Amino acid sequence: MAKRIMWPLRKHRERVLFKSPSAIRNRCGFSQQFLSMIERGERRPRAEDVPNLAKAYEISPEQMWQYLDETAELVESLRAEKAVQERP
């Protein structure tokens, strides 16, 4: 059974804002799929989009950058862990 990863930005949305992805989508105008990819660290928003995203998540742009950096570090550690597990 795979463990559930609590991505920093998704954690903020679910535990602090108590909002659904569609509520965030309506506030910032990005697709739900794109927002989910940002939350999971699969995509990184353009610098000019960060203030709009921060407003949708009700945080400062600086906090948004911090969440994005934490997510990038988490993705990197998961990739490293997977690479170790796949070695013969």
Match 């108590």 to its residue by tokens.
18
Instruction: Give the domain ranges of the chain.
Output: 20-86
Match 């799929």 to its residue by tokens.
33
| pLDDT tens per residue, range 8-48 | 888 888 877 877 778 888 888 899 899 889 988 889 999 99
pTM of the model: 0.77
| pLDDT tens per residue, range 55-86 | 998 899 999 999 999 988 888 888 888 888 88
CATH of segment(s) 20-86: 1.10.260
Q: Are 57 and 17 in contact (CB under 8 A)?
A: yes
